[in-house]
Amino acid sequence: MQDINYYLFKIVMLGDSGVGKSNISTQYLQNVFNVESKSTVAMIKIQLWDISGDEKYRSLIDTYCSRAMGALIVYDITNRTTFENVEWWLKEFRRSYIDPNNVVIMLVGNKTDIADRRQVSTEEAKSFAERENLLFMETSALCATNVEEGFTNVLTQIYHNVTSP
């Protein structure tokens, strides 16, 4: 019988209020089952911290982000201000972690289901992500587009960071 390794990965969801962090989290947690899953060699438990984007809670970010191994920084593609604020969220998250080599951050543009109201181009966001060394994906929490894929990418990268010598 093969030994199973157990891992606990803390992931935080960051971004302005109303960008869809809770909807992305809910969509992922409710639709995580994969009928094509392979045999288990590791058990990964996820602590998913969905942090309010409301200004009155911003003083608690250090506490919430402490010991997080990953972050999804979410903005609304139809609201330019939420993208402009990504820099602040990124700076605050980076202040909170100890080992930058073992932290995975994904920039997530949400609400692609209403792309006709887009204020932030995919190219601009992708360029920012590359400049800041972030993973990048656009999603629709409403339609479940790329939600599971985004989490899978982050978790896979964290797993590789943890298990690589």
- Residue-wise pLDDT tens digits, 140-161: 998 989 999 999 999 999 998 8
Condensed to tens digits (0 to 9), the pLDDT of residues 84-132 reads: 999 999 999 998 876 777 899 999 999 999 999 999 999 999 999 999 9
Quick one: pLDDT band at residue 35, thresholds 50, 70, 90? very low
Give me the numbers of helices (H) and strands (E) for the chain, helices first please: 6, 5
**Phi, psi of 162, rounded to the nearest 5 degrees:** -75, -35
The residue ranges of every structural domain in the chain are: 5-32+39-163
pTM of the model: 0.86
Q: How confident is the model at residue 39 (pLDDT cuts 50, 70, 90)?
A: very low
Under the banding of pLDDT at 50, 70 and 90, the label for residue 57 is confident
| pLDDT score of 7 | 84
On whether the 5-32+39-163 domain is CATH 3.40.50.300, my answer is yes
Q: How high is the pLDDT of residue 41?
A: 54
CA–CA dist 55, 154 (Å, integer): 26
pLDDT at 36: 44
Distance CA 160, CA 74 (A): 23
If one compares 61 and 130, the residue with the highest pLDDT of the two is 130
- Token readout for 130 is 């590359």
